[in-house]
C-alpha cells in the first residue's frame, strides 16, 4: 500500500501524516509513505486544497482533517 500526503509541510499536513501513520501502525498494515511537497506534483491530483490523503493513487480526502476512524476505514478498504 502506498500512502501519499499532499501538502507543502504546514502543521495540518504534518498532523495528517502523523494520524495516518498511527492508524497504519495500530492496524498492523504494511504501507509506504510519501509526503509530496512539490506544488506541480500536488497539482497533478484532483485536489483543490491541502492537506490531502491519497491511498494507492486514489484521493480519499482533501482540504480538511479527517478523523482517525475515517482514515482507518479508508486504509482497511484499500
CA dihedral 45, 47, 35, 68 (to 10 degrees): -130
Which of the residues are catalytic?
Answer: 10, 13
- The CA angle 65-77-14, to the nearest 5 degrees, is 25
Dist CA 15 CA 11 (whole Å): 6
Is the bond into 51 cis (omega within 30 degrees of 0)? yes
Amino acid at each position: 500500500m502506498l500512502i501519499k500526503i499532499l501538502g507543502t509541510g504546514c502543521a495540518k499536513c504534518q498532523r495528517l501524516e502523523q494520524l495516518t501513520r498511527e492508524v497504519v501502525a495500530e492496524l498492523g498494515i504494511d504501507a509506504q509513505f510519501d509526503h509530496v511537497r512539490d506544488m506541480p506534483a500536488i497539482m497533478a491530483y484532483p485536489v483543490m486544497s491541502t492537506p490531502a490523503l491519497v491511498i494507492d493513487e486514489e484521493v480519499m480526502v482533501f482540504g480538511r482533517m479527517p478523523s482517525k476512524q475515517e482514515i482507518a476505514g479508508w486504509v482497511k478498504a484499500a
